[in-house]
Amino acid sequence: MQSTKAHWWFVGPALFLMVVILLMPITIAGALSFTNYSLGNPGADFVGLDNYEKIFTRSTYEKMFGATFRYVFVVVPLSVGLGLGAALLINSTRRFGDLYKTIYFLPVMAALIAMAIVWEFAFHPTIGIVNSTLERGCGSFLETWHWYAKGCERGFPLWLTDRDYAIWTVAFIGIWQGFGFNMVLYLAGLTSVPRELYHAAEMDGAETAWDRFRLVTWPMLGPTTVFVVTISFIRSFQVFDTVEAFYPQGGGPSKSVYVMMFAIYEKAIQQNLMGIGAAITVVFLAFVMFLTLAQRWLVEKRVHYT
């Protein structure tokens, strides 16, 4: 058989683009993370693992991991759960389904940076709608709740500037913004569940909605769930715009909202410390990679049935 070079022409373009726009930047970032390079400097010194040592020892970065993981592990389960719930509800209504879809999907379409300004107003301690609404509840039965009574007495929390509340408030906005996207994915997944399976479940004696959900809906949504969870993880690891909009001066009260993306931005762009920025990027990539692979290994095998 005559050997030709045709195969290179087939895979060549894709390979070239992958190397240039994907592998090379990652390799460069990896290489930079072992140096103290700054933009504009003629050269850089090799510093070994210094940058990584800083990341895993300094308290700033400890706070960075704390904020990132808090955010991720609150936003992912809640936005996936709410997305599924909303999808099931919309799927079960005959009327206004499209209207609800649009409403819940609006936050996804809206630019988060613009929405952040609206939320900043809403959470404003004196003129914000959130705290003024809460104050109206004072004197009612709600005061039996200890936290609420305390709020009435000494004022409700400064949601965005109290270090005990800031990350949760940002996480709340992340959920609000993200669950519509998950809902749309779940709605698509629900349309592919064969109706006959529900009929079979009904004939088999699944009388309650919960039985049918357990027996048919949840297992059949398995592949969708894997995808939704993976996407949600990556998206919430990448949270940046809310933090930048609320705390342009660096990471919120006591750096409690100092998420990884913001840290990369602050170090590499604002402070021109390319080396440490690259090192955080590599750690970030490693996390996302690890989570994605773990998902595949643990779950993928069990959700594709054929």
Q: Least distance in Å: CB of 53 to other proteins?
A: 44
Kindly provide the residue ranges of all beta strands, DSSP E only, lying in the chain, ordered along the sequence: none
CB contact set of 109 (below 8 Å; sequence gap of 6+): none
Question: 137 or 222, CB closer to other proteins?
Answer: 222
Question: 86 or 201, CB closer to other proteins?
Answer: 201
Among 4, 57, 191, 306, binds other proteins (CB under 8 A): 306
Tokens of 299: 């779950």
Which residues are bridge partners to 35 per DSSP?
46
- Verify binding: residue 205, other proteins, rule CB under 8 A: yes
- Verify binding: residue 223, other proteins, rule CB under 8 A: no
Helix 24-32 vs helix 274-295: crossing angle, to nearest 10: 130
Which residues are bridge partners to 46 per DSSP?
35
- Number of residues engaging other proteins in binding (CB under 8 A): 21
Q: Least distance in Å: CB of 276 to other proteins?
A: 47
Among 220, 228, 257, 282, binds other proteins (CB under 8 A): 220
Among 211, 241, 244, 300, binds other proteins (CB under 8 A): 211
Tokens of 77: 């389960």
Please state, in angstroms and rounded to a whole number, the distance separating the CA atoms of residues 57 and 123. 34
Q: Least distance in Å: CB of 213 to other proteins?
A: 13
Q: Least distance in Å: CB of 215 to other proteins?
A: 7
Question: 200 or 289, CB closer to other proteins?
Answer: 200
- Verify binding: residue 206, other proteins, rule CB under 8 A: yes
Using CB under 8 A as the binding rule, the residues of this chain from 168 to 197 that contact other proteins are: 194, 196-197
Among 204, 271, 272, 298, binds other proteins (CB under 8 A): 204
Q: Supply the DSSP symbol for 62.
A: H
Residue type, position 42, single letter: P
* 3-class secondary-structure state, position 35: strand
3-state helix/strand/coil string of 181-222? HHHHHHHHHHHCCCHHHHHHHHHCCCCCHHHHHHHHHHHHCH
Residue reference for tokens 């692979």: 293
Among 9, 139, 141, 207, binds other proteins (CB under 8 A): 207
- Contacts with other proteins, residue ranges (CB under 8 A): 194, 196-197, 199-207, 211, 215-216, 219-220, 222, 303, 305-306
